Amino acid sequence: MNEEVPAVKDDAVHPAARGAGHPALTGCPWHDVNEMLQAAGLRPTRQRMALGWLLFGKGARHLTAEMLYEEATLAKVPVSLATVYNTLNQLTDAGLLRQVSVDGTKTYFDTNVSAHHHFYLEHNHELVDIHDSNMMLSKMPDVPEGYEISRVDMVVRLRKKR
């Protein structure tokens, strides 16, 4: 059962997360976040709206829960770190964010939910999209009976030359 990595099927991606990662934007971040949440079946609470505005209002981003919590605190958004984690997990489950784990110790949330891979810059703990569309895995492992591959995440770790 060794084969090339299957492309992500468009129907496997939540409608709110299609295209460049999200529905067509109107230019009004508050309206756009409201539409995104509703299209994903999430109630647009004040906290979800505020965190969504911070997440999606600045283009494609990679954030940890702690980074978003810090941004929310600076923006005077009254949320707890637990609420940030819960919201990020809800947005991920709804298909609006993509979770990327690095070393099993750090989890980033990516606003770009399209199929892509990442560089991890070790010196400053930054996650960066790999824009090479020619990159591919040539063989996949045999999958146990009753399972299928849902997606493949590749993180290429980079460090400065010594």
User: Residues of 63-77 as b/e, b for ≥16 C-beta within 10 angstroms?
Assistant: bbbebbbebbeeeeb
Tokens of 134: 């020619």
Identify the band that residue 68 occupies on the pLDDT scale cut at 50, 70 and 90.
Answer: very high
Q: Identify each DSSP E strand in the chain by its residue range.
A: 62-63, 98-102, 106-110, 117-121, 126-130, 155-158
What average pLDDT does range 117-129 have in this prediction?
Answer: 90
Percent of all residues in the chain with a pLDDT value above 70, rounded to a whole number: 82
Structure confidence at residue 9 (pLDDT): 33
Residue type, 151: R
Greater confidence (112 vs 10) lies with 112
- The reported pTM is 0.76
Structure confidence at residue 59 (pLDDT): 83
